[in-house]
Amino acid sequence: MADPVKMLHVKMGDTKVGRLVLTQDQRVAFEYDKEFLNSGFSISPFHLPLKQGVFLAETSPFDGNFGVFNDSLPDGWGNFILARYLASQGISLDSQSLLDRLSRVGSKGMGVLEYYPEGSVTSSISTQDLNFLAKEVGKVLTEPTYSEHLHLLAENGCIPGGVRPKVLYSYNNEDWIVKFHSPSDPPNMGMSEFVNSKIARKCGIPMSPSRLFEGKYFGIKRFDVRSGNRLHMVSVSGLLNASHRKPALDYVDLIKATFVLTKNIKDCYQLFRRMVYNVLTGNRNDHSKNFSFLFEAGEWKLSPAYDMVPDKGLNGNHATRIAGHGQPEKTHIFEVAKLTGLKPSRISDIFDEVYTGCSPIRLSKF
């Protein structure tokens, strides 16, 4: 059993960003590297400004972690497969500190942040056979003691985000994420997500290229990788230190925070467009980890959309409120625009464009 990690170095490739340690009460303390202070940027502008000193994380909502580093950790499926793998090694996931878990991510997380010393899982075999990987996923989900290829799944599947089984996949020498069927999914889930991605684009919502592998596995190209280079990415959850596990935000908050961060009103109108799409198509799983920002060429920008699929949400409510409402009416959509200073004529056009574009899957009676 590996010794507990005492300190982690945070890097972007060869560039040292800073270091992480745990306090006695199991809170993360972070300090920027001196050289990064001179040549870098704030990796989380609202909570980790680029300045000297030690930053100490709050105990909630991420159990003593900063949101930007919490983004790097596995969630849902990733935690499930990591727990199974560790158990096969006689290790309890609960025994792993925040630094231990970030070390498990190492250089294989989403975005550009990497954590050293690296303790990520490596497998002695490699495969790009999606049908084989899907069968292995099915075995893990249905056989509590199955462990034959846990190394392989843990190496390729311990990525942040979502409860659905997924793996990192190389297609045409590009980095993709491919999702598999879970027991709670309808039989045609892959096709449904693929169709929804095409309709979202028709509604003016940028999404990374997607395709249906083997006629059934939904895949989407990673938007945090450009020409082999990884970009820094932070979710709204990480940016605002807002838990995605319970309703914590309103689209009013998101649009205002977007303008403060990106200084680009186009991103605000785009976020409004995504809100309209989510309401009209019944995607109520619009929590704070389903919106992200990228830092590219010295600027923050709203990332392409993802997970744009109908979901009943918790008790039929949107995870992100619409002007205070979990089950909004049309008037509440326009109230968001009023509260954020968006032009009435512009948002009326956006609503009409999305209403028309999403007609094949529109659920709302507006």
Q: What is the CATH number of the domain that holds 150?
A: 3.30.200.120
User: Predicted confidence band at 144 (pLDDT cuts at 50, 70, 90)?
Assistant: confident
Residues 167 and 92 in one domain: no
Cα dihedral 167/5/55/41 (nearest 10) = -50
Distance CA 327, CA 320 (A): 10
Across the chain, mean pLDDT equals 93
Residue range of the domain that includes 352: 233-356
Q: Domain check: are 332 and 239 in the same one?
A: yes
Question: Confidence band (pLDDT; 50, 70, 90) for 284?
Answer: very high
- Pair (245, 345) in one structural domain: yes
Residue 270 lies in a domain: yes
Mean pLDDT throughout 177-199?
92
Would residue 173 count as lying in a domain? yes
- Does 364 reside within a domain? no
Q: What is the mean pLDDT of residues 314-337?
A: 96
* Residues 205, 150 share a domain: yes
Confidence class for position 69, pLDDT limits 50, 70, 90: very high
Higher-confidence position of 44 and 119? 44
Cβ contacts of 50 within 8 Å, gap of 6 or more = 32, 36, 37, 40, 41, 42
Q: Is 19 contained in some domain?
A: yes
Q: Is residue 2 part of a domain?
A: no
Query: Residue 314 has what pLDDT?
Result: 86
CB 288, CB 236: distance < 8 Å = yes
Percent of the chain with pLDDT over 70: 99
Residue, of 158 and 276, whose pLDDT is higher: 276
Least confident of 143-147, 159-163, 223-227: 159-163
CA distance between the termini of the chain: 58
147 and 86 in one domain?
Answer: no
Tokens at residue 321, please?
Answer: 């409120």
| Per-residue confidence band for 2, with pLDDT thresholds at 50, 70 and 90 | low
